[in-house]
């Protein structure tokens, strides 16, 4: 089979397409023929060898995707060849065939396109736990969403607006601002204007919550945008890691709350994973949630996909597909 193999850490140039042996599903695993793999900042961090994302070399990148089950390992029940599944927090998804732990895979409804499932599984689960649990958004809340035209940002904006929140969406261009407004944002602005926008929209009090996946470039201003007892949800760091903070600054800023969540702690049980996935898939099928696939790349173009992600010029979700329509993959 063909797969992207990283043999040394570096930039997009280290993503090399090679012929390798297809995996054999072990106990509790599924062998899945890939339909699409999601492209994420975590993939970039792993390819760069950035701690704590520093896998052993060589490795096949990719943590999420979707596809058709073609085989199962010992101990797997309830999943059969021909079933379509999606997964996240997996491994080695930039490949034509992927061994996926059955406990990490969720069934994809027949009416949902596998590419859409791959595009929404990670960001959808993330947006769901951020809105439902990390800070349960309420009607009337002023909510700041950074990078609102990105994969998570567009979903967060839609979910928050549907809950009756007033969303301040930060974007870097007029085209991205238009996408955020279409998703339900009350106000769109650049990264230098969201503090004032949050205060204007809240009558001077500030935002109830800031969802910040940007990190270093926005962190200090995100704190200033919060109302007393507001919550700063730092769920990513696309601009770099945040510098250490003295907890006293949270007190002087208004008895603020700071959390750095990760998906693994919000899908700790199989029941929780299935509940969140079902909620997201249902919302997509019902038309309540729109998923934007910003671009599709072939596996051989994985380096280009990483360059596009790093450029911050993309919108929605980037995915890799194993082949163009009409060309079958080979497991040999």
For residue 304, pLDDT beyond 50:
yes
Q: What is the pLDDT of residue 314?
A: 86
What is the pTM (predicted TM-score) of this model? 0.92
E strand map for the chain: 2-5, 16-19, 29-38, 65-72, 84-87, 97-101, 105-107, 142-145, 166-170, 187-189, 207-212, 226-234, 257-259, 293-298, 317-321
pLDDT band at 26 (very low <50, low <70, confident <90, very high): very high
Q: What is the pLDDT of residue 52?
A: 83
d(CA 88, CA 273): 10
Identify the weakest region by mean pLDDT among 26-30, 34-38, 321-325: 321-325
Across the range 25-52, mean pLDDT stands at: 95
Do 211 and 130 touch, CB atoms closer than 8 A? yes
Q: What is the pLDDT of residue 312?
A: 77
For residue 291, pLDDT beyond 90:
yes
Across the range 151-171, mean pLDDT stands at: 97
Across the range 90-109, mean pLDDT stands at: 96
Whole-number average pLDDT of the chain = 95
For residue 332, pLDDT beyond 60:
no
Across the range 100-115, mean pLDDT stands at: 97
The segment(s) of the chain belonging to CATH 3.40.50.720 are: 139-260
Q: What is the pLDDT of residue 331?
A: 30
Do 162 and 187 touch, CB atoms closer than 8 A? no
The segment(s) of the chain belonging to CATH 3.90.180.10 are: 2-119+292-321
pLDDT band at 325 (very low <50, low <70, confident <90, very high): low
d(CA 294, CA 147): 14
In this structure, what token pair is assigned to residue 256?
């603020």
Locate all alpha helices (DSSP H) within the chain, ordered by sequence: 41-48, 114-129, 151-162, 174-182, 194-201, 219-224, 248-252, 270-286, 302-311
pLDDT band at 91 (very low <50, low <70, confident <90, very high): confident
pLDDT: is 177 or 312 the higher one?
177
The CATH superfamily holding the domain 2-119+292-321 is Medium-chain alcohol dehydrogenases, catalytic domain (3.90.180.10)
Do 39 and 111 touch, CB atoms closer than 8 A? no
Q: What is the pLDDT of residue 326?
A: 43
Q: What is the pLDDT of residue 324?
A: 66
Across the range 146-170, mean pLDDT stands at: 97
For residue 303, pLDDT beyond 90:
yes
Across the range 141-151, mean pLDDT stands at: 96
d(CA 195, CA 128): 25
pLDDT tens readout for residues 217-252: 999 999 999 999 999 999 998 898 899 999 999 999
Domain covering 139-260, topology: Rossmann fold (3.40.50)
For residue 327, pLDDT beyond 50:
no
Across the range 11-27, mean pLDDT stands at: 97
For residue 61, pLDDT beyond 80:
yes
């Amino acid at each position: 089979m063909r797969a992207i193999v990283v043999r040394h850490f570096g930039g997009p140039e280290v993503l090399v397409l090679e012929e390798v042996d297809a995996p054999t599903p072990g106990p509790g695993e599924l062998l899945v023929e890939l339909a699409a793999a999601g492209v994420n900042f975590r993939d970039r961090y792993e390819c760069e060898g950035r701690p704590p994302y520093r896998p052993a070399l060589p490795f096949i990148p990719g943590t999420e995707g979707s596809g058709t089950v073609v085989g199962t390992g010992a101990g797997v029940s309830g999943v059969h060849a021909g079933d379509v599944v999606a997964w996240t927090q997996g491994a080695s998804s930039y490949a034509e065939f992927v061994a996926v732990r059955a406990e990490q895979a969720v069934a994809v409804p027949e009416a949902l396109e596998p590419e859409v499932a791959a595009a929404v599984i990670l960001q959808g689960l993330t947006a769901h736990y951020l809105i439902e649990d990390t800070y349960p958004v309420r009607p009337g809340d002023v909510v700041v969403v950074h990078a609102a035209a990105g994969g998570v940002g567009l979903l967060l904006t839609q979910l928050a607006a549907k809950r009756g929140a007033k969303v301040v969406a930060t974007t870097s261009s007029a085209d991205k601002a238009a996408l955020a407004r279409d998703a339900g944002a009350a106000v769109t602005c650049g990264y230098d204007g969201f503090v004032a926008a949050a205060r204007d929209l809240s009558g001077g009090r500030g935002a109830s919550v800031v969802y910040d996946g940007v990190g270093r470039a926005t962190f200090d201003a995100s704190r200033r945008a919060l109302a007393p007892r507001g919550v700063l949800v730092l769920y990513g760091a696309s601009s770099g890691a945040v510098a250490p903070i003295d907890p006293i600054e949270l007190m002087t800023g208004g008895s603020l709350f700071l959390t750095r969540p990760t998906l693994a702690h919000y899908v700790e049980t199989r029941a929780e994973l299935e509940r969140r996935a079902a909620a997201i898939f249902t919302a997509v099928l019902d038309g309540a949630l729109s998923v934007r696939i910003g671009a599709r790349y072939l596996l051989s173009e994985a380096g280009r996909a990483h360059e596009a992600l790093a450029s911050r010029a993309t919108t929605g979700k980037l995915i890799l597909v194993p082949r163009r329509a009409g060309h079958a993959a080979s497991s040999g």
